[in-house]
């Protein structure tokens, strides 16, 4: 379902945009893990990706009302 399916006043319109941005940043930091040699930076970048992926899931659950908190 594209954003065109939702009115701009629908929170899902914005939620989908935010999820797209979270996914872009998550992919970017995962790519950066391979570009640096510092193990602490690698751990930070991977942790960042995992946190962003968790937020992305929360937004997906909000959109589909899969979790009790969003029902």
CA–CA–CA angle 53, 58, 61 (5° rounding): 125
Residue ranges covered by each domain of the chain: 10-63
* CB-based contact 15:63 (threshold 8 Å): yes
pLDDT per residue as tens digits for the range 10-65: 998 999 999 999 999 999 999 999 999 999 999 999 999 999 999 999 999 998 88
pTM for the model: 0.83
More confident residue, 33 or 68: 33
Confidence of residue 6 (pLDDT cuts 50, 70, 90): confident
Measured in Å, how far apart are the chain's first and last C-alpha atoms? 20
């Amino acid at each position: 379902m594209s954003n065109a399916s939702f009115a701009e006043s629908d929170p899902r319109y914005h939620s989908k945009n935010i999820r797209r941005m979270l996914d872009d940043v998550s992919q970017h930091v995962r790519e950066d893990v391979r570009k640096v040699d510092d193990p602490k930076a690698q751990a930070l970048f991977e942790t960042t990706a995992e946190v962003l992926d968790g937020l992305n899931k929360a937004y997906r659950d909000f959109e589909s009302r899969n979790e009790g908190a969003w029902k």
